[in-house]
Structure 1
Amino acid sequence: MLLEMRRQMEDLDKHGRRCNIRVRGVPELEGEKDMERLLTRLFCSILQEDTLNTMELIRAQLLPRLENAAPRDLICCLGSYKLKDNIMRKACSRQTCEFQGAQVALINNLSSLTLEAKWALQPVTIVLQERRIPYRWGFPPCTFHGRKKCRH
């Protein structure tokens, strides 16, 4: 029962983060409105569009500073998963993502449990990469607990 509750909590956490993007490398600005405007410009440049409805960017938040990390990461929540997926696909198709003279990385905002599972599987993924066997991380990652089939 405890494992089932943990799985359900993890599933809720993943769905809550579904429309989030972690942005790394954007120079820090003062004020939340500037941050939202900056992210809107960044996403417009990635999508190669002139405008992005600012209502589609629900919120943006600076994360606490990591050791020796400058600038801090931003997490933003977009209004739809479709928009987030489109931004991530376009960003991944580029060799580099440069914005205002800085190298910017867009990362899925994964839960700590998902990151733990990813790190635990790192030896397996290293072997897959060495042998050039294609694999894919699904989002949210699929889990199987023996009794029930995965719902994803």
Structure 2
Amino acid sequence: MFQKLEDSFSEKLQAVNADVQQLGARVQDLEEETENINKQWAEAYTTQETHAEATRYLQRRLEDVDNRGRQNNLRVRGIPESAEGVTENPIQVLTTLFNRILPRPNDTAITFDRAHRAARPRNLPPDRPRDLICCIHNFLLKEEIFRKARQNKDLTVDGQLVTVFQDLAPSTLQA
């Protein structure tokens, strides 16, 4: 009887032992797979960090190129949309304004590469005038106009206060 009981326990113990070995093998497989996944994740994270740094570098370079392309630009804020001649010939209006800033005769020529109204920002109220952006051909003249405009706080066109700014990339202004 004891022999029968011992054989029964032995069979059951062998079955449990086989189950434990099978579970041990499965656990080992899972641990190896987890280790592989962790290695892959670490590699992906390192690659992502490298790409993020490269993206930040390229964004800084792009911002620099954008600002260098705008180095001859001035942004004039406050000239009313209804100011005489501003729609038809913004260059003439800006020439008159800049000659007043420099104190020179109004008809003194200033060479512009271009001049136009900026697009209306979404948050700008409809009654506020859009900025005028101009590219002055001569960088030194642009710098002189900018410097004197900063000193002269009482610039007006059609009774409206006008300010002159450096034209900078939007990403620079947000920083």
TM-score relative to the length of structure 1: 0.68
Within 5 Å, which residues of 2 pair with 1:119-134? none
CA, structure 1 residues 116+108, in 2 after alignment: closer, same or farther (shift >3 Å)?
Answer: same
Tell whether 2:130 aligns with 1:77: no
Residue in 1 aligned with 2:165? Answer: 107
Q: How many residues align?
A: 116
The residue type paired with residue 70 of structure 2 is: R
Determine the structure 2 residue equivalent to 1:49: 104
Identity fraction in percent: 35
Gaps of 5+ in 1: 118-152
Residues 75, 109 of structure 1: 8 Å contact kept? yes
Structure (1 or 2) with the larger CA radius of gyration? 2
2:73 corresponds to 1:20: yes
C-alpha deviation, 1:61, in angstroms: 1.0
1:56-112 CA distance string (max 9 Å, x none):
211111112343142211111110221111001111111321233221111111111
Match of 2:62 in 1: 9
- SS for the counterpart of 2:135 is strand
Mind listing any 5+ residue stretches in structure 2 that lack a counterpart?
A: 1-53
Q: Deviations over 1:103-143 (max 9, x none)?
A: 111111111121121xxxxxxxxxxxxxxxxxxxxxxxxxx
Whose helix fraction is larger, Structure 1's or Structure 2's? Answer: 2
Deviation (angstroms), 1:7:
1.9
CA RMSD, Structure 1 to Structure 2 (Å): 1.9
